[in-house]
Structure 1
Amino acid sequence: MVTMEAYESIEKMTSGDWYVATGAERERVAQQAAMYAHEFNQLGPTDPKRSAEIVKAWLSPESGQCTIKAPAIIEYGFNTTIAEHAFINFGVTILDIAPVTIGARSMLGPNCSLLTAGHPVDDWQMRSGGWENGSPISIGQDTWLGGNVTVVGGVSIGDRCVIGAGAVVTKDIPDDCIAVGNPARVIRKRDKSRYERTQLPEGAPLDAFGILPEGPKESEGPESSE
Protein backbone atom coordinates (compact mmCIF):
# COMPACT_ATOMS: atom_id res chain seq x y z
CA MET A 1 0.00 0.00 0.00
CA VAL A 2 1.30 3.45 -0.92
CA THR A 3 1.60 5.87 1.99
CA MET A 4 1.32 9.63 1.54
CA GLU A 5 4.58 10.15 3.43
CA ALA A 6 6.38 8.92 0.31
CA TYR A 7 4.99 11.87 -1.68
CA GLU A 8 5.32 14.81 0.72
CA SER A 9 9.08 15.16 1.21
CA ILE A 10 11.17 18.13 0.10
CA GLU A 11 13.23 15.75 -2.05
CA LYS A 12 10.10 14.61 -3.88
CA MET A 13 8.98 18.24 -4.30
CA THR A 14 12.26 19.42 -5.87
CA SER A 15 12.65 16.34 -8.08
CA GLY A 16 9.92 17.34 -10.53
CA ASP A 17 7.79 14.30 -9.67
CA TRP A 18 4.21 14.54 -8.49
CA TYR A 19 4.06 15.33 -4.80
CA VAL A 20 1.62 16.58 -2.17
CA ALA A 21 2.36 19.86 -0.36
CA THR A 22 2.09 18.44 3.14
CA GLY A 23 4.56 16.98 5.60
CA ALA A 24 6.24 18.38 8.68
CA GLU A 25 9.67 19.10 7.16
CA ARG A 26 8.26 20.92 4.13
CA GLU A 27 5.94 22.91 6.41
CA ARG A 28 8.89 23.89 8.62
CA VAL A 29 10.94 25.15 5.67
CA ALA A 30 7.95 26.98 4.18
CA GLN A 31 7.21 28.62 7.52
CA GLN A 32 10.81 29.78 7.89
CA ALA A 33 10.70 31.30 4.40
CA ALA A 34 7.40 33.01 5.25
CA MET A 35 9.01 34.52 8.35
CA TYR A 36 11.94 35.81 6.28
CA ALA A 37 9.48 37.37 3.82
CA HIS A 38 7.48 38.97 6.63
CA GLU A 39 10.50 40.52 8.33
CA PHE A 40 12.11 41.59 5.05
CA ASN A 41 8.94 43.28 3.84
CA GLN A 42 8.26 44.95 7.18
CA LEU A 43 11.78 46.39 7.21
CA GLY A 44 11.55 47.86 3.73
CA PRO A 45 14.37 50.44 3.41
CA THR A 46 14.78 51.03 7.16
CA ASP A 47 17.62 48.58 7.95
CA PRO A 48 19.72 47.63 4.89
CA LYS A 49 22.17 45.60 6.97
CA ARG A 50 19.47 43.35 8.42
CA SER A 51 17.72 43.11 5.06
CA ALA A 52 20.96 41.84 3.49
CA GLU A 53 21.32 39.27 6.28
CA ILE A 54 17.79 38.01 5.62
CA VAL A 55 18.41 37.69 1.88
CA LYS A 56 21.61 35.73 2.51
CA ALA A 57 19.80 33.32 4.87
CA TRP A 58 16.71 33.10 2.65
CA LEU A 59 18.33 32.27 -0.71
CA SER A 60 20.49 29.35 -1.82
CA PRO A 61 24.06 29.51 -0.44
CA GLU A 62 25.30 29.68 -4.05
CA SER A 63 23.72 33.12 -4.46
CA GLY A 64 25.87 36.22 -4.83
CA GLN A 65 25.44 39.75 -3.55
CA CYS A 66 22.24 40.93 -5.20
CA THR A 67 19.54 43.56 -4.68
CA ILE A 68 15.92 42.66 -3.91
CA LYS A 69 13.41 45.44 -3.31
CA ALA A 70 10.64 44.89 -0.77
CA PRO A 71 7.95 43.68 -0.93
CA ALA A 72 9.06 40.26 -2.14
CA ILE A 73 7.63 36.76 -1.88
CA ILE A 74 9.94 33.76 -2.31
CA GLU A 75 8.12 30.61 -1.31
CA TYR A 76 11.07 28.54 -0.09
CA GLY A 77 14.29 30.39 -0.91
CA PHE A 78 16.70 27.46 -0.69
CA ASN A 79 15.72 26.59 -4.28
CA THR A 80 16.44 30.10 -5.61
CA THR A 81 19.94 31.12 -6.71
CA ILE A 82 20.50 34.76 -7.65
CA ALA A 83 23.95 35.67 -8.97
CA GLU A 84 26.16 38.69 -8.31
CA HIS A 85 24.77 42.16 -9.08
CA ALA A 86 21.32 40.93 -10.13
CA PHE A 87 18.59 43.49 -9.43
CA ILE A 88 15.06 42.42 -8.46
CA ASN A 89 12.57 45.28 -8.35
CA PHE A 90 9.49 45.71 -6.14
CA GLY A 91 6.82 43.03 -5.92
CA VAL A 92 8.57 39.90 -7.16
CA THR A 93 6.90 36.53 -6.59
CA ILE A 94 9.03 33.39 -6.87
CA LEU A 95 7.33 30.03 -6.36
CA ASP A 96 10.43 27.87 -6.17
CA ILE A 97 9.28 24.35 -5.50
CA ALA A 98 11.76 23.59 -8.30
CA PRO A 99 15.10 25.38 -8.77
CA VAL A 100 15.13 29.00 -9.96
CA THR A 101 18.36 30.53 -11.27
CA ILE A 102 18.89 34.19 -12.14
CA GLY A 103 22.20 35.11 -13.77
CA ALA A 104 24.68 37.84 -12.96
CA ARG A 105 23.67 41.45 -13.64
CA SER A 106 20.18 40.47 -14.77
CA MET A 107 17.28 42.75 -13.92
CA LEU A 108 13.64 41.98 -13.10
CA GLY A 109 11.18 44.86 -13.33
CA PRO A 110 8.35 45.44 -10.84
CA ASN A 111 5.84 42.69 -10.15
CA CYS A 112 7.53 39.88 -12.05
CA SER A 113 6.46 36.30 -11.30
CA LEU A 114 8.62 33.18 -11.63
CA LEU A 115 6.29 30.23 -11.18
CA THR A 116 7.81 26.75 -11.15
CA ALA A 117 4.69 25.10 -9.73
CA GLY A 118 2.40 23.01 -11.92
CA HIS A 119 -0.87 21.14 -11.39
CA PRO A 120 -2.75 18.45 -13.34
CA VAL A 121 -4.52 19.98 -16.32
CA ASP A 122 -6.85 17.22 -17.54
CA ASP A 123 -7.25 15.26 -14.33
CA TRP A 124 -9.37 17.60 -12.21
CA GLN A 125 -9.81 15.05 -9.41
CA MET A 126 -6.05 14.69 -9.02
CA ARG A 127 -5.69 18.47 -9.11
CA SER A 128 -8.40 19.06 -6.51
CA GLY A 129 -6.97 16.19 -4.48
CA GLY A 130 -3.78 18.17 -3.81
CA TRP A 131 -1.22 16.85 -6.29
CA GLU A 132 1.31 19.17 -7.92
CA ASN A 133 4.77 19.15 -9.49
CA GLY A 134 7.45 21.63 -10.45
CA SER A 135 9.81 22.43 -13.32
CA PRO A 136 12.93 24.63 -13.10
CA ILE A 137 13.29 28.18 -14.39
CA SER A 138 16.60 29.56 -15.60
CA ILE A 139 17.33 33.19 -16.52
CA GLY A 140 20.74 33.92 -18.00
CA GLN A 141 23.23 36.72 -17.43
CA ASP A 142 22.66 40.36 -18.41
CA THR A 143 18.99 39.74 -19.17
CA TRP A 144 16.17 42.23 -18.50
CA LEU A 145 12.59 41.25 -17.71
CA GLY A 146 10.24 44.23 -17.93
CA GLY A 147 7.49 44.90 -15.41
CA ASN A 148 4.79 42.29 -14.85
CA VAL A 149 6.56 39.53 -16.78
CA THR A 150 5.48 36.00 -15.88
CA VAL A 151 7.77 33.02 -16.47
CA VAL A 152 6.28 29.54 -16.09
CA GLY A 153 8.00 26.34 -15.03
CA GLY A 154 10.31 24.56 -17.41
CA VAL A 155 11.41 27.73 -19.22
CA SER A 156 14.99 28.81 -19.86
CA ILE A 157 15.75 32.40 -20.92
CA GLY A 158 19.20 32.95 -22.34
CA ASP A 159 21.91 35.56 -21.82
CA ARG A 160 21.51 39.21 -22.87
CA CYS A 161 17.77 38.89 -23.57
CA VAL A 162 15.03 41.49 -23.17
CA ILE A 163 11.50 40.37 -22.30
CA GLY A 164 8.89 43.08 -22.85
CA ALA A 165 6.62 44.28 -20.06
CA GLY A 166 3.58 42.09 -19.45
CA ALA A 167 4.91 39.12 -21.40
CA VAL A 168 4.06 35.55 -20.39
CA VAL A 169 7.03 33.31 -21.17
CA THR A 170 5.93 29.75 -21.82
CA LYS A 171 8.78 28.53 -24.05
CA ASP A 172 12.57 28.85 -24.04
CA ILE A 173 14.09 32.10 -25.31
CA PRO A 174 17.57 31.81 -26.90
CA ASP A 175 20.49 34.11 -26.13
CA ASP A 176 20.43 37.70 -27.45
CA CYS A 177 16.71 37.73 -28.23
CA ILE A 178 14.00 40.33 -27.67
CA ALA A 179 10.61 38.77 -26.94
CA VAL A 180 7.18 40.23 -26.21
CA GLY A 181 3.56 39.19 -25.86
CA ASN A 182 1.33 36.50 -24.38
CA PRO A 183 2.57 33.93 -25.04
CA ALA A 184 5.97 35.58 -25.51
CA ARG A 185 7.51 35.31 -28.96
CA VAL A 186 10.86 36.43 -30.27
CA ILE A 187 10.50 39.52 -32.47
CA ARG A 188 14.16 40.06 -33.27
CA LYS A 189 17.75 39.51 -32.19
CA ARG A 190 19.94 42.14 -30.58
CA ASP A 191 21.33 44.49 -33.21
CA LYS A 192 24.59 46.35 -32.64
CA SER A 193 23.58 48.96 -35.20
CA ARG A 194 20.89 50.02 -32.69
CA TYR A 195 23.26 50.44 -29.73
CA GLU A 196 22.07 53.24 -27.47
CA ARG A 197 25.65 54.07 -26.49
CA THR A 198 25.71 56.51 -29.41
CA GLN A 199 23.36 58.69 -27.34
CA LEU A 200 25.83 59.04 -24.45
CA PRO A 201 28.15 62.01 -24.10
CA GLU A 202 31.61 61.41 -25.51
CA GLY A 203 33.80 59.68 -22.94
CA ALA A 204 30.91 58.46 -20.76
CA PRO A 205 31.73 54.97 -19.37
CA LEU A 206 29.58 52.06 -20.48
CA ASP A 207 30.20 50.32 -17.14
CA ALA A 208 28.86 53.06 -14.87
CA PHE A 209 28.70 50.69 -11.87
CA GLY A 210 32.04 48.98 -12.48
CA ILE A 211 30.47 45.49 -12.47
CA LEU A 212 31.02 44.18 -16.00
CA PRO A 213 33.43 41.25 -16.31
CA GLU A 214 36.81 41.68 -17.95
CA GLY A 215 36.98 40.47 -21.50
CA PRO A 216 37.33 41.44 -25.15
CA LYS A 217 35.19 44.29 -26.45
CA GLU A 218 32.37 43.45 -28.83
CA SER A 219 33.07 44.12 -32.46
CA GLU A 220 31.08 46.77 -34.25
CA GLY A 221 28.29 46.01 -36.68
CA PRO A 222 24.91 44.28 -36.33
CA GLU A 223 24.60 41.12 -34.23
CA SER A 224 22.32 39.65 -36.86
CA SER A 225 19.89 40.68 -39.52
CA GLU A 226 16.20 41.02 -38.56
Structure 2
Amino acid sequence: MVVMDFEYQQMLAGELYLAAGIAPENKSVHGKKIAQKINQTPIEDRQKIIALTKEMFGKTGQDLFVTPPVYVDYGRHVSVGEHFYANMDCIFLDVNRIMIGDNVMLGPRVGLYTAGHPLDSDVRNIDQLEFGLPIVIEDNVWLGGNVVVLPGVTIGKNTVIGSGSVVTKDIPADSIAVGNPAKVIKKLGAKEKEYWEDKKAKYLAAKKASQR
Protein backbone atom coordinates (compact mmCIF):
# COMPACT_ATOMS: atom_id res chain seq x y z
CA MET A 1 0.00 0.00 0.00
CA VAL A 2 1.37 3.42 -0.99
CA VAL A 3 1.98 5.68 2.01
CA MET A 4 1.42 9.39 1.38
CA ASP A 5 3.90 11.95 2.64
CA PHE A 6 4.57 15.66 2.21
CA GLU A 7 7.35 15.46 -0.38
CA TYR A 8 5.49 12.87 -2.46
CA GLN A 9 2.31 14.94 -2.40
CA GLN A 10 4.28 18.03 -3.40
CA MET A 11 5.80 16.10 -6.31
CA LEU A 12 2.47 14.94 -7.71
CA ALA A 13 0.97 18.42 -7.19
CA GLY A 14 3.60 19.96 -9.46
CA GLU A 15 5.21 21.91 -6.61
CA LEU A 16 8.81 22.01 -5.41
CA TYR A 17 9.83 18.89 -3.53
CA LEU A 18 12.91 17.20 -2.12
CA ALA A 19 13.36 13.78 -3.71
CA ALA A 20 15.55 12.54 -0.87
CA GLY A 21 12.73 13.25 1.58
CA ILE A 22 10.16 10.96 -0.04
CA ALA A 23 9.15 8.10 2.23
CA PRO A 24 10.72 4.72 1.37
CA GLU A 25 7.28 3.25 0.59
CA ASN A 26 6.73 5.89 -2.10
CA LYS A 27 10.13 5.84 -3.78
CA SER A 28 10.68 4.84 -7.39
CA VAL A 29 12.74 1.68 -7.03
CA HIS A 30 9.80 -0.73 -7.52
CA GLY A 31 9.05 0.50 -11.04
CA LYS A 32 12.73 0.45 -11.97
CA LYS A 33 12.96 -3.17 -10.86
CA ILE A 34 10.04 -4.15 -13.10
CA ALA A 35 11.61 -2.30 -16.03
CA GLN A 36 14.80 -4.22 -15.37
CA LYS A 37 12.86 -7.48 -15.51
CA ILE A 38 11.29 -6.45 -18.84
CA ASN A 39 14.71 -5.63 -20.26
CA GLN A 40 16.06 -9.02 -19.22
CA THR A 41 13.13 -10.98 -20.69
CA PRO A 42 13.76 -12.78 -24.01
CA ILE A 43 12.14 -10.77 -26.79
CA GLU A 44 10.23 -13.82 -28.02
CA ASP A 45 8.45 -14.09 -24.63
CA ARG A 46 5.90 -11.49 -25.68
CA GLN A 47 3.24 -12.43 -23.12
CA LYS A 48 5.64 -12.04 -20.19
CA ILE A 49 6.74 -8.62 -21.47
CA ILE A 50 3.11 -7.53 -21.74
CA ALA A 51 2.28 -8.82 -18.25
CA LEU A 52 5.27 -7.05 -16.71
CA THR A 53 4.41 -3.83 -18.56
CA LYS A 54 0.87 -3.93 -17.17
CA GLU A 55 2.35 -4.43 -13.71
CA MET A 56 4.79 -1.54 -14.18
CA PHE A 57 2.35 1.08 -15.49
CA GLY A 58 -0.38 2.47 -13.27
CA LYS A 59 -3.17 1.86 -15.80
CA THR A 60 -3.31 0.21 -19.21
CA GLY A 61 -5.70 -1.08 -21.81
CA GLN A 62 -5.78 -4.73 -22.81
CA ASP A 63 -3.82 -4.31 -26.06
CA LEU A 64 -0.32 -2.87 -25.70
CA PHE A 65 3.30 -3.66 -26.34
CA VAL A 66 6.47 -1.90 -25.25
CA THR A 67 9.60 -3.12 -27.02
CA PRO A 68 12.53 -3.55 -24.62
CA PRO A 69 14.60 -1.91 -23.43
CA VAL A 70 12.29 0.51 -21.61
CA TYR A 71 13.09 2.89 -18.77
CA VAL A 72 10.87 4.49 -16.15
CA ASP A 73 11.27 6.56 -13.03
CA TYR A 74 8.22 5.39 -11.07
CA GLY A 75 6.24 3.59 -13.77
CA ARG A 76 3.05 3.67 -11.74
CA HIS A 77 2.42 7.31 -12.68
CA VAL A 78 2.02 6.30 -16.36
CA SER A 79 -1.40 5.47 -17.78
CA VAL A 80 -1.95 4.30 -21.35
CA GLY A 81 -5.10 3.55 -23.32
CA GLU A 82 -5.95 0.79 -25.78
CA HIS A 83 -3.72 -0.18 -28.70
CA PHE A 84 -0.56 1.42 -27.28
CA TYR A 85 2.84 0.75 -28.82
CA ALA A 86 6.28 2.01 -27.83
CA ASN A 87 9.37 1.09 -29.80
CA MET A 88 12.73 0.33 -28.17
CA ASP A 89 14.63 2.62 -25.79
CA CYS A 90 11.71 4.79 -24.69
CA ILE A 91 11.98 6.72 -21.42
CA PHE A 92 9.03 7.54 -19.16
CA LEU A 93 10.41 10.01 -16.59
CA ASP A 94 7.22 10.03 -14.56
CA VAL A 95 7.84 12.03 -11.39
CA ASN A 96 4.44 13.46 -12.31
CA ARG A 97 1.68 11.76 -14.28
CA ILE A 98 1.99 10.77 -17.94
CA MET A 99 -1.49 10.25 -19.39
CA ILE A 100 -1.67 8.62 -22.82
CA GLY A 101 -4.86 7.99 -24.80
CA ASP A 102 -5.90 5.27 -27.24
CA ASN A 103 -4.06 4.32 -30.45
CA VAL A 104 -0.83 6.09 -29.55
CA MET A 105 2.49 5.08 -31.11
CA LEU A 106 5.96 6.06 -29.86
CA GLY A 107 8.98 5.69 -32.11
CA PRO A 108 12.34 4.49 -30.79
CA ARG A 109 14.07 6.55 -28.11
CA VAL A 110 11.12 8.79 -27.36
CA GLY A 111 11.54 10.59 -24.04
CA LEU A 112 8.57 11.77 -21.99
CA TYR A 113 10.10 13.97 -19.31
CA THR A 114 7.81 15.30 -16.58
CA ALA A 115 10.77 16.30 -14.39
CA GLY A 116 12.08 19.85 -14.13
CA HIS A 117 14.62 21.78 -12.09
CA PRO A 118 14.66 25.40 -10.84
CA LEU A 119 16.55 27.90 -12.98
CA ASP A 120 18.16 29.42 -9.88
CA SER A 121 21.37 27.50 -9.23
CA ASP A 122 21.21 27.79 -5.42
CA VAL A 123 17.69 26.38 -5.22
CA ARG A 124 18.64 23.69 -7.73
CA ASN A 125 22.03 22.68 -6.35
CA ILE A 126 22.23 23.70 -2.70
CA ASP A 127 18.62 23.13 -1.68
CA GLN A 128 18.30 20.29 -4.23
CA LEU A 129 14.65 21.12 -4.89
CA GLU A 130 12.96 19.99 -8.08
CA PHE A 131 9.49 19.75 -9.58
CA GLY A 132 7.45 17.79 -12.13
CA LEU A 133 4.51 18.69 -14.36
CA PRO A 134 2.14 16.21 -16.06
CA ILE A 135 2.28 15.26 -19.74
CA VAL A 136 -0.91 14.49 -21.67
CA ILE A 137 -0.90 12.71 -25.04
CA GLU A 138 -4.38 12.41 -26.51
CA ASP A 139 -5.83 9.72 -28.82
CA ASN A 140 -4.29 8.73 -32.17
CA VAL A 141 -0.97 10.53 -31.66
CA TRP A 142 2.25 9.35 -33.29
CA LEU A 143 5.60 10.53 -31.92
CA GLY A 144 8.54 9.89 -34.26
CA GLY A 145 11.90 8.53 -33.15
CA ASN A 146 13.95 10.58 -30.68
CA VAL A 147 11.09 12.97 -29.90
CA VAL A 148 11.39 14.62 -26.48
CA VAL A 149 8.29 15.92 -24.67
CA LEU A 150 8.96 18.35 -21.81
CA PRO A 151 7.05 18.90 -18.54
CA GLY A 152 3.52 20.26 -18.65
CA VAL A 153 2.89 19.61 -22.36
CA THR A 154 -0.37 18.41 -23.90
CA ILE A 155 -0.39 16.97 -27.44
CA GLY A 156 -3.82 17.01 -29.08
CA LYS A 157 -5.52 14.07 -30.77
CA ASN A 158 -4.52 12.84 -34.25
CA THR A 159 -1.27 14.83 -34.15
CA VAL A 160 2.08 13.67 -35.54
CA ILE A 161 5.39 14.91 -34.09
CA GLY A 162 8.34 14.60 -36.46
CA SER A 163 11.47 12.66 -35.52
CA GLY A 164 13.99 14.48 -33.38
CA SER A 165 11.59 17.21 -32.28
CA VAL A 166 11.60 18.75 -28.80
CA VAL A 167 8.06 19.58 -27.70
CA THR A 168 8.22 22.48 -25.25
CA LYS A 169 4.64 23.78 -25.51
CA ASP A 170 1.15 22.38 -26.17
CA ILE A 171 0.48 21.17 -29.72
CA PRO A 172 -3.13 21.36 -31.00
CA ALA A 173 -5.10 18.46 -32.42
CA ASP A 174 -4.87 17.42 -36.09
CA SER A 175 -1.40 18.86 -36.60
CA ILE A 176 2.06 17.97 -37.83
CA ALA A 177 4.75 19.57 -35.67
CA VAL A 178 8.53 19.41 -36.08
CA GLY A 179 11.69 21.07 -34.83
CA ASN A 180 13.34 22.32 -31.68
CA PRO A 181 11.23 23.80 -30.28
CA ALA A 182 8.49 21.91 -32.12
CA LYS A 183 6.18 24.11 -34.19
CA VAL A 184 3.08 23.26 -36.21
CA ILE A 185 3.91 23.16 -39.91
CA LYS A 186 0.67 21.68 -41.22
CA LYS A 187 -2.92 20.96 -40.22
CA LEU A 188 -4.27 17.51 -41.04
CA GLY A 189 -7.63 17.18 -42.75
CA ALA A 190 -9.64 15.71 -45.62
CA LYS A 191 -6.79 15.94 -48.14
CA GLU A 192 -4.52 13.66 -46.10
CA LYS A 193 -7.35 11.25 -45.36
CA GLU A 194 -8.20 10.96 -49.07
CA TYR A 195 -4.55 10.44 -50.00
CA TRP A 196 -3.97 7.64 -47.47
CA GLU A 197 -7.31 5.95 -48.11
CA ASP A 198 -6.33 5.79 -51.79
CA LYS A 199 -2.92 4.32 -50.89
CA LYS A 200 -4.63 1.72 -48.70
CA ALA A 201 -7.03 0.75 -51.50
CA LYS A 202 -4.09 0.23 -53.86
CA TYR A 203 -2.31 -1.86 -51.25
CA LEU A 204 -5.37 -4.09 -50.71
CA ALA A 205 -5.83 -4.51 -54.45
CA ALA A 206 -2.17 -5.47 -54.89
CA LYS A 207 -2.37 -7.93 -52.01
CA LYS A 208 -5.48 -9.55 -53.42
CA ALA A 209 -3.84 -9.86 -56.85
CA SER A 210 -0.76 -11.50 -55.30
CA GLN A 211 -2.92 -14.22 -53.76
CA ARG A 212 -4.53 -15.37 -57.00
Shorter chain as normaliser: what TM range? 0.7 to 0.9
What's the offset of the Cα at 1:12? 1.9
Shift of 1:22: 1.4
Choose the corresponding residue for 1:51, options 42, 49, 52: 49
Contact 1:44 1:71 in 2 (8 A): no
For 2:23, give the aligned amino acid: E
Other-structure match for 1:159: 157
Task: Give, as a single letter, the amino acid of the residue that structure 1 aligns with 2:197.
Answer: R
Corresponding residue for 1:125? 122
Structure 1 residue 18: deviation in Å? Answer: 0.3
Higher helix share: 2
Kindly indicate whether the alpha-carbon contact (under 8 Å) linking 1:44 and 1:70 is maintained by their aligned counterparts in 2.
Answer: no
- Residue type at the aligned position of 2:175: C
**Structure-2 separation of matches of 1:44 and 1:135:** 34
Aligned counterparts of 2:18 and 2:69: Cα–Cα separation in 1: 28
* Aligned position for 2:209: none
Deviation of the 1:30 alpha carbon:
1.1
Q: For 1:53 and 1:42, how far apart are their aligned partners in 2?
A: 14
- Name stretches of at least 5 consecutive residues in structure 2 with no aligned partner: 206-212
Give deviations 1:33-88, integer Å, cap 9, x for gaps.
1111111001141422222221111111x321311110000110111001110111
Identity %: 38
Detail structure 1 runs of 4+ shifted over 4 Å in the superposition: none
Secondary structure of 1:16's counterpart equals coil
TM-score by length of 1: 0.82
For the 8 Å contact 1:141–1:160, the answer to whether it is kept is yes
Match runs of 1:186-225 below 5 Å = 186-194=184-192, 195-201=195-201, 204=204
Aligned partner of 1:70 among 68, 71, 77: 68
Structure 1 segments unaligned to the other structure (5+ residues)? 1-5, 206-226
* 1:94 alignment partner, SS class: strand
| Backbone CA RMSD of aligned residues | 2.0
Over 3 Å counting, the alpha-carbon distance change for 1:28 and 1:193 in structure 2 is closer
Helix, strand or coil for the counterpart of 1:131? coil
Counterparts of 1:79-94 in structure 2 under 5 Å?
79-94=77-92
* CA contact 2:161–2:176 (8 Å) conserved in 1: yes
CA distance in 1, matches of 2:78, 2:24: 16
Structure 2 CA distance for partners of 1:70 and 1:44, relative to 1, 3 Å? farther
